[in-house]
Structure 1
Amino acid sequence: MKAFGKILGLGLLGLLLIIVALGFALTHLFDPNDYKDEIRELARKKAHVELTLNGDIGWSLFPWLGLELHEASIATLNNPKQPFADLQMLGLSVRVLPLLRREVQMSDVRVEGLNLTLVRDPHGHGNWEDIGKPLPEQNASAATAPAEPSEAPAPAKGDANERAVKLDIDSLTVNNARVQFTDEQSGRSYGAESIQLSTGPVHDGVSTPIKASAFVSASEPNIKARTELVGDLRFDRKLKRYSLEDMRLSGETSGEPTAGKTVTFAAQGQVLADLGADVASWTGLKVSANQLRALGELNLRDLSSTPQISGALSIAQFNLRTFLDGIGHPLPATADANAFAKLELVTRLEGSPTAIALPDLAVKLDDSSFTGRVAIEDFAKQALRVQLKGDKFDADRYLPAKSEEAKGAKAARQAEVQQQEATAVAGAGSTPLPSAPTQVAWSTDKLLPVDRLRALDLQADLSFGALTLDKLPITDAHLQASGQGGLLTLQTLRGGLYNGSFEAKGTVDVRPAVPQLGVNTQITRVPVEHFIKRDTPDQAPPVKGLLTLSSDLTASGNSQKALVDTLNGNASFTITDGVLVNANLEQQLCQAIATLNRKQLSGEPRAKDTPFQELRGTLVVRNGVASNPDLKVRIPGLTVNGHGDVDLRVLGMDYGIGVLVEGDQRAMPDPACQVNERYVGVELPLRCRGPLELGAKACRLDKDGLGKVAAKLAGNRLKDKIDEKLDEKLGDKVSPELKDALKGLFKR
């Protein structure tokens, strides 16, 4: 037995020596470069590709089956003169004996100067689709040729994994590779250049360190980026499980989407794709872009059908305005230049290829905090759904900043009002009526982003503990709005306001060329002075009191001026428990009575303001001018009626006021302001004209109307004297009925 074993060992050693000698002879005596034409022909017939070998072929046989190609290119048979791939050098080697066990054990694989060009023609056909396909003539001849015996049946699925080829590579290196894809249908192209790839040993179930870098680009939109990827690749082909551990992707990009500005980005985490379980995940997610920093995790399921995403995301506080400016999308100027300075976010994620939702959303924007849900239910339709609850929000800070033109118009109007106010105060009511204002009170700046609103599909439900809107502090505010197809509907905007309440409803229709607006407003017992605040804090409003207002108005246009110029509708108002500030209406009325009495007032006015119990009326608005035919004011000792117009375009008024007075009712009345019985039922006229900001300070005695009153009083005095004479002459000589008849003759 020992001799037999020795003989067998010597036999195997001899066989091995023969194989080595044969390999040496083949690699040294046989030169594959002499057979390039045969190799190209074999590639045409078997692989159906056009192989061009411009460089030398190096090879080895045993124990490594090695191959080294230089200056090679591959084209399809349909277009043999335009290679879709070429390379400067490809070097690889495979152990021969493990191949017999269906194991691929390779040494270092090296690729130099790979250039891959992929093109989709105007008909949608890609040049890569013809790889390995014979020419049409070959297909036709194959169809007429007798059928060859069918190949052996494929192995059953049950033992497919058992017969899978085992892959074992010492390392893989790719230097200076390039990939270019051109879509002639869309006119777009994408490319990756200077591709560098290096790996450690590649084995099933073992982590393989990899490092890759490239410069990528796209034509539409024009964009360029430098990227670098490192991590540990691990795969198990039996389980169809692939992971990239400790992945770190970094780089920078610039181009049209960022307006030429450079954005530095980075991402890291653990990436896993389990195709057997049809799931994928990205845990330990860390993402940064310029100063933005985010943490979270992402999970995908149903990869083979309709992928569904879930996860969580947390974005640390950052300056949104600075960030958007850094990526080429600056925010428009806002009323507060510090708005959008602080933003942070925490949320869960849910989504699909067509939608995404942020449930359990918590956002902090500047000094405000919000919780709720935001979702885009359909990317194609831009279907936005918002449900948020905020603690406080100052909307005025985020409104567009006024243009220089609007600021100039406002300044001109303020100067006009101040000039007339100074005259009115200096004259103490004795000066001529102020002139009607001429300066437009409204801005021509664009209000609505019409194009965006036309494409908007919105449903919003917002509530705020405190909302500031147009400098008005609204408590427990609630807003519900929707928009679709260019029609926006405000279902409600309601809340508390200075211990009163308000509610507004309306529509904005941007489907026509000129936007159309409609609004219905209800205000209940809100101090009116807060709606007519002066621009300077030290100036008091012209009137105070509790306002109740109901209005139904329409307008068209896309600026304040256009909306006011086209304002139409109806309104009714009541102001109770009010005061006409810095307006001594009593003094002006006493002046009128003294004038009728042909006397001079002997005292100074004792009151600075004029209180009233109620002021009410209705308005009919036509093209920015509100007509008020039934103004009524209840003032202790007075009855006031009026009618006139309010020109909302310039915020001016022109009123005729009639006052029924009782005279000076003080304990020590001014003798010139006493009302005798001749004045009972006589209405004293006032005229009010000028800016609304002046209030009652713009009112003067109507001298023309006062002359008519004087004439009427003179007629009454004459009638009284006639009556006295008749009483003296007739005495008791005639009956009372006849006496009254005679007096009636003088009334005609």
Structure 2
Amino acid sequence: MKAFGKILGLVILGLLLIIVALGFALTHLFDPNDYKDEIRQLARDKAHVELTLNGDIGWSLFPWLGLELHEASIATLKNPKVPFADLQMLGLSVRVLPLLRREVQMSDVRVEGLNLTLERDEHGHGNWEDIGKPLPAGETSVVAGAAPADATPAATEKPATVERPVKLDIDSLTVNNARVQYTDARNGQTLTAESIQLSTGAVHEGVNIPLKMTAFFSVGTPVVKARTELNGELRFDRALKRYQFEDMKLSGEASGEPLQGKTMTFAAQGQLLVDMAANVAEWNGLKVSANQLRALGELNVRDLDKEPKLTGGLSIAQLDLRKFLDSVGVVLPPMADATTLGKFELVSRLDGSNNRLALEDLAIKLDDSAFTGRLAVEDFAKQALRVQLKADKFDADRYLPAKSEAAKGTTAARQAEVQQKEAGAVAGPGTSPLPDAPTQTAWSNDKLLPVDRLRALDVQADLNFGVLTLEKLPIHDATLKASGLDGLVTLETLSGGLYAGQFETKGTLDVRPAVPLIALNTKVTRVPVEHFIKSQTDTPPVKGLLTLNSNLTANGNSQKALVDTLNGTASFVINDGVLVNANLEQQLCQGIATLNRKSLSGEPRGKDTPFQELKGSLVLRNGVASNPDLRARIPGLALKGNGDIDLRVLGMDYRVGVTIEGDKREMPDPACQVNERFAGLEFPLRCRGPLEMGAKACRIDKDGVGKLAGQALGNRINEKLEEKLGDKVSPELKDALKGLFKR
């Protein structure tokens, strides 16, 4: 038995020596470079690719099947002269005996100088889609001397059988100086990854594989360049179709045209999982940073085999949004308040697909405001935006465009003009000359609307505010509903409470024509009018509760253009009002003193004039509002007038008549005594000048005083007739005689 064992051992040793000797003989006596043509033909017939071997082939046989390829390239059979991949060197070694058990045991695998070119043509077909495909029947390769790619008739092919998967066992994989370029002829876009360095630990199925990769990426249009580094542990199970990337960390820097010369430092990390059997993908423990921005969250994608559905969550920590946007090259338009966007944070639940993304259960903090609701892009291709938000408070004035220097100069010039004219009016009340009509430009020529963006707008917005500040007006429980599609923006409603009153505005903005068209319908109910017409000195000319109805249209894209083309109608009523800094009593006394041919000696008792009601209607034509029926009721007085308000220069020109009604008491000043002959007389006033001056621009109309004197003389003669005639004549004759002196 011992002898048999010894003999068996010698036989096995002899066989091993023979195998080693055969391997030595093969590797030294057999040169694969002599069979390049056969190897290329084998690649065409079995792998259906065009293999070009420009360099030498080095190899070893046992116990490792070693192979080194130099200067090799691969092309598709359809386009064999244009390789989609080439490399400088590929080196690998495979154990021979495990191959018999369908196990691939490799030592280190090295790839040097890999260059991969991927192209998609005008029809959307990619060159990589032809890899491994035989030529259609009847076609042959264009390479000289090449045999048909698949010479075996289809009828003789054996049916495919399910085979046990190959087991991989690789000590390491190293890729040096690789390059991948992708070009899409449909949009002219080019994406390139260069200087790719990839290294892994031992590659075994079902265990974590350490991986590290660095690369430089660039995009052609617009030009973007990025340096990236990727680290983590890769794990895969082909039987379960499950792939994991644990402790993934991606970092780098980016620059380019969109960043306007700025550099963005970015990083991302988390746990990635793709389960093809369950058709789900997950990114858990997501952490993302970009310059000052820090975000946490998780992403889940299901139905990978159909239309993918995205769910998850996202949280952005508080940051200075203005500084962040500046750091990534976003140039914000100048705002009225340069400190806006200083605080921003966001928390939301994500819901989306390959064509839409919604931020559900959204909570945003922006400066001093807090928003909740929903924000969604329902169609990426159409940029269909849907907004449903509620806010505790929001000061819109802070975010409006800042005035240009030209507009500021216009405002300053107009303010100086108003102050000068107001000073003149105060210096000599009742006697100073009437101010000339204003000529300063009151409105800005700055562009108001981003017309191109509005024409492409597809939006539906539903906003609610606890307090919305707009044009310094605090609107309580404000509601804003608007929509925009194909260049037509519709304001369904902007309404709310305003200083214990109510208002509502509806309208449209049509940017489809070359010149935008605006139509507005406004209703205001018992809102303090002084908050609408504050002057440059913050002293309103009129106070009271305003009720207004207006229907207006205009066209243009600046304040000046809109005012110059303003047309429509309006009606207004002001109740429980006050004419500020306008002592009509003094003005009337001055007129009465003129009629009495006396001079006033007393000082006026007050500087304001209260009134019960002020109402009228307006017809607007190209920026000029005509008011033919101004009426006001003041205790003891009645006021009526007509005139124009030129909104183009914020000027007015009115003729006003003030009638004394039933107040026959003596005035403190003897020169201002009212007797019966002045009862019913209409005292003429002329109001012309800047609108901000209000009643301070009004003076006695000297042209009308003469007529008033004649009327007063007629009243005096009528009194004498009454005394003389008594009951001696009939009432009809008496009235006729009185009428002669009233004309």
Shorter-normalised TM-score: what interval?
Answer: over 0.9
Distance (whole Å) between structure 2 residues aligned to residue 125 and residue 478 of structure 1: 51
Check whether the contact 1:324–1:330 (CA below 8 A) recurs between aligned residues: yes
- Give the equivalent residue in structure 2 for 1:446: 447
Check whether the contact 1:664–1:670 (CA below 8 A) recurs between aligned residues: no
Distance (whole Å) between structure 2 residues aligned to residue 20 and residue 307 of structure 1: 56
Choose from 140, 150, 155 the match for 2:156.
150
**Stretch deviating more after TM superposition (307-316 or 144-153):** 144-153
Q: 1:44 to 1:548 in 2, by over 3 A?
A: closer
Q: 1:129 to 1:550 in 2, by over 3 A?
A: closer
- Give the equivalent residue in structure 2 for 1:35: 35
How far 1:190 moved relative to its partner?
2.1
For each residue in 1:158-194, what CA deviation from the matched residue of structure 2 results, as whole angstroms up to 9, or x when unmatched? xx5xx11111101000001112233345433222111
- Give the equivalent residue in structure 1 for 2:587: 588
Q: 1:526 to 1:621 in 2, by over 3 A?
A: same
- Give the equivalent residue in structure 2 for 1:63: 63
Distance (whole Å) between structure 2 residues aligned to residue 144 and residue 84 of structure 1: 21
Check whether the contact 1:590–1:663 (CA below 8 A) recurs between aligned residues: no
| Structure 2 letter corresponding to 1:232 | E
Q: Does 1:695 align with 2:701?
A: no
How far 1:676 moved relative to its partner?
2.2
Matched position secondary structure for 1:334: coil
Distance (whole Å) between structure 2 residues aligned to residue 82 and residue 625 of structure 1: 74
Q: Does 1:419 align with 2:420?
A: yes
Check whether the contact 1:495–1:502 (CA below 8 A) recurs between aligned residues: yes
Q: Does 1:617 align with 2:616?
A: yes
- Give the equivalent residue in structure 2 for 1:518: 519
Give runs of aligned pairs for residues 308-387 of structure 1, distance below 5 A: 308-387=309-388
Check whether the contact 1:719–1:746 (CA below 8 A) recurs between aligned residues: no
| Structure 2 letter corresponding to 1:583 | A
For each residue in 1:197-230, what CA deviation from the matched residue of structure 2 results, as whole angstroms up to 9, or x when unmatched? 0000001100000001111112122221111111
How far 1:601 moved relative to its partner?
2.0
Check whether the contact 1:252–1:262 (CA below 8 A) recurs between aligned residues: yes
How far 1:485 moved relative to its partner?
1.4
Check whether the contact 1:270–1:285 (CA below 8 A) recurs between aligned residues: yes
- Give the equivalent residue in structure 1 for 2:679: 680
Q: Does 1:459 align with 2:465?
A: no
**Stretch deviating more after TM superposition (474-483 or 119-128):** 119-128
| Structure 1 letter corresponding to 2:679 | V
| Structure 2 letter corresponding to 1:105 | Q
| Structure 1 letter corresponding to 2:576 | D
Q: 1:620 to 1:101 in 2, by over 3 A?
A: same
Distance (whole Å) between structure 2 residues aligned to residue 149 and residue 19 of structure 1: 40
Give runs of aligned pairs for residues 86-101 of structure 1, distance below 5 A: 86-101=86-101
Matched position secondary structure for 1:324: helix
Distance (whole Å) between structure 2 residues aligned to residue 120 and residue 746 of structure 1: 101
- Give the equivalent residue in structure 2 for 1:714: 713
How far 1:671 moved relative to its partner?
2.3
Give runs of aligned pairs for residues 666-677 of structure 1, distance below 5 A: 669-677=668-676
- Give the equivalent residue in structure 2 for 1:631: 630
**Stretch deviating more after TM superposition (89-98 or 16-25):** 16-25
Matched position secondary structure for 1:534: coil
| Structure 2 letter corresponding to 1:152 | K
Distance (whole Å) between structure 1 residues aligned to residue 376 and residue 594 of structure 2: 73
TM-score (norm 1): 0.93
Distance (whole Å) between structure 2 residues aligned to residue 466 and residue 127 of structure 1: 59
How far 1:10 moved relative to its partner?
3.2
- Give the equivalent residue in structure 2 for 1:259: 260
- Give the equivalent residue in structure 1 for 2:574: 575
- Give the equivalent residue in structure 2 for 1:170: 171
* Identity, % of aligned positions: 74
How far 1:544 moved relative to its partner?
1.1
| Structure 2 letter corresponding to 1:600 | S
For each residue in 1:28-50, what CA deviation from the matched residue of structure 2 results, as whole angstroms up to 9, or x when unmatched? 23222343344345445554544
**Stretch deviating more after TM superposition (177-186 or 278-287):** 177-186
For each residue in 1:436-493, what CA deviation from the matched residue of structure 2 results, as whole angstroms up to 9, or x when unmatched? 1111211111111111111111111111111110011111111111111111111111
- Give the equivalent residue in structure 2 for 1:481: 482
Instruction: Kindly report the root-mean-square deviation, in angstroms, between the aligned alpha carbons of the 2 structures.
Output: 2.5
Distance (whole Å) between structure 2 residues aligned to residue 164 and residue 78 of structure 1: 30
Matched position secondary structure for 2:547: strand
| Structure 2 letter corresponding to 1:398 | Y
- Give the equivalent residue in structure 2 for 1:53: 53
| Structure 1 letter corresponding to 2:479 | H
| Structure 2 letter corresponding to 1:314 | S
Distance (whole Å) between structure 2 residues aligned to residue 126 and residue 671 of structure 1: 104
- Give the equivalent residue in structure 2 for 1:83: 83
Distance (whole Å) between structure 2 residues aligned to residue 548 and residue 171 of structure 1: 83
Gaps of 5+ in 1: none
Distance (whole Å) between structure 1 residues aligned to residue 493 and residue 71 of structure 2: 74
Check whether the contact 2:70–2:87 (CA below 8 A) recurs between aligned residues: yes
How far 1:424 moved relative to its partner?
0.3
| Structure 2 letter corresponding to 1:651 | L
Distance (whole Å) between structure 1 residues aligned to residue 381 and residue 455 of structure 2: 14
How far 1:710 moved relative to its partner?
0.9
Distance (whole Å) between structure 2 residues aligned to residue 198 and residue 372 of structure 1: 47
Work out the number of aligned pairs and report it: 736
Distance (whole Å) between structure 1 residues aligned to residue 33 and residue 40 of structure 2: 11
Q: Does 1:491 align with 2:497?
A: no
Distance (whole Å) between structure 2 residues aligned to residue 186 and residue 493 of structure 1: 42
Check whether the contact 1:234–1:243 (CA below 8 A) recurs between aligned residues: yes
For each residue in 1:236-257, what CA deviation from the matched residue of structure 2 results, as whole angstroms up to 9, or x when unmatched? 0000000100001111112222
- Give the equivalent residue in structure 2 for 1:289: 290
Matched position secondary structure for 2:156: coil
| Structure 2 letter corresponding to 1:182 | T
**Stretch deviating more after TM superposition (656-665 or 457-466):** 656-665
Check whether the contact 2:638–2:661 (CA below 8 A) recurs between aligned residues: no
Q: Does 1:223 align with 2:219?
A: no
Check whether the contact 1:569–1:620 (CA below 8 A) recurs between aligned residues: yes
For each residue in 1:654-682, what CA deviation from the matched residue of structure 2 results, as whole angstroms up to 9, or x when unmatched? 11111111587667632222222222222
Check whether the contact 1:590–1:664 (CA below 8 A) recurs between aligned residues: no
Distance (whole Å) between structure 2 residues aligned to residue 665 and residue 550 of structure 1: 38
- Give the equivalent residue in structure 2 for 1:391: 392
How far 1:744 moved relative to its partner?
7.0
Q: 1:35 to 1:739 in 2, by over 3 A?
A: closer
How far 1:143 moved relative to its partner?
11
Give runs of aligned pairs for residues 126-137 of structure 1, distance below 5 A: 126-132=126-132, 133=134, 137=139
Distance (whole Å) between structure 2 residues aligned to residue 468 and residue 746 of structure 1: 61
Distance (whole Å) between structure 1 residues aligned to residue 101 and residue 739 of structure 2: 141
**Stretch deviating more after TM superposition (640-649 or 233-242):** 640-649
Distance (whole Å) between structure 1 residues aligned to residue 270 and residue 383 of structure 2: 31
Check whether the contact 1:94–1:106 (CA below 8 A) recurs between aligned residues: yes
Gaps of 5+ in 2: none
**Stretch deviating more after TM superposition (53-62 or 679-688):** 53-62
- Give the equivalent residue in structure 1 for 2:657: 658
Q: 1:350 to 1:137 in 2, by over 3 A?
A: closer
Q: 1:744 to 1:263 in 2, by over 3 A?
A: closer
**Stretch deviating more after TM superposition (693-702 or 129-138):** 129-138
**Stretch deviating more after TM superposition (623-632 or 229-238):** 623-632
For each residue in 1:287-345, what CA deviation from the matched residue of structure 2 results, as whole angstroms up to 9, or x when unmatched? 11111111000000000110000000000111211211221221111000011111100
Q: 1:614 to 1:6 in 2, by over 3 A?
A: same
| Structure 1 letter corresponding to 2:624 | V
Matched position secondary structure for 2:325: helix
How far 1:558 moved relative to its partner?
1.1
How far 1:260 moved relative to its partner?
3.2
- Give the equivalent residue in structure 1 for 2:641: 642
- Give the equivalent residue in structure 1 for 2:563: 564
How far 1:87 moved relative to its partner?
1.7
Q: 1:6 to 1:152 in 2, by over 3 A?
A: farther
